């Protein structure tokens, strides 16, 4: 059965303090790995799709990378508005989400 484990469960950063979120996965036949951002009371918002090991994508202060077993979401010099829950999901024959990492950035 496809599985996604995200760590840490929660992360508190000071503004400007860079860090990384981890997404470990097991899937039979990866057809895509997704990162979403979810704000309280809202649905997830798409950030990135990665398809193969070695692929990287960037958007503003966020950079996602992919290996055969895990993905990282690197956050460079975060700002308070980056505070949200970050969800990782893999698609094998259906989309399976992890439980997310709650990120809080303090000014």
Partner 1 sequence: ETGVTQSPTHLIKTRGQQVTLRCSSQSGHNTVSWYQQALGQGPQFIFQYYREEENGRGNFPPRFSGLQFPNYSSELNVNALELDDSALYLCASSWGQGGNEKLFFGSGTQLSVL
Q: Which residues lie near partner 1 (CB under 8 A)?
A: 4, 31-32, 34, 36, 41-46, 49, 87, 89, 91, 93-100
- Residue with Cβ nearer partner 1 (29 or 107): 29
Q: What is the closest distance, in whole angstroms, from the C-beta atom of residue 16 to partner 1 in the complex?
A: 28
- Select from 60, 39, 40 the least CA-distant residue to 48: 60
Pairing label, strands 3-7, 19-26: antiparallel
Least spacing, CB of residue 79 vs partner 1, in Å: 23
Burial class of residue 55, CB neighbours in 10 A (0-12, 13-18, 19+): middle
Tell me which residue of 30, 8, 46, 20 sits closest to 96, measured CA to CA. 30
What is the sign, positive or negative, of the torsion defined by CA atoms of 89, 59, 68, 93?
positive
- Minimal distance in Å, beta carbon 12 to partner 1? 17
Nearer to partner 1 by Cβ, of 77 and 99: the residue is 99
Residue placing its CB nearer to partner 1 in the complex, 51 or 77: 51
- Of the pair 42, 79, the CB lying nearest partner 1 is at 42
CB of 51 to partner 1, least distance (A): 8
């Amino acid at each position: 059965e496809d599985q996604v484990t995200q760590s840490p469960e929660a992360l508190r950063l000071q503004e400007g303090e860079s860090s990384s979120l981890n997404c470990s996965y097991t899937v039979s036949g990866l057809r895509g790995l997704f990162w979403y951002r979810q704000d309280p009371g809202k649905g997830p918002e798409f950030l990135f799709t990665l398809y193969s090991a070695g692929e990287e994508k960037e958007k503003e202060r966020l950079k996602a990378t992919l290996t055969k077993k895990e993905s990282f979401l690197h956050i460079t010099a975060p700002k308070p508005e980056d505070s949200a829950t970050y969800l990782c999901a893999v698609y094998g024959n259906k989309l399976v989400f992890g439980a997310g990492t709650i990120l809080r950035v303090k000014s």
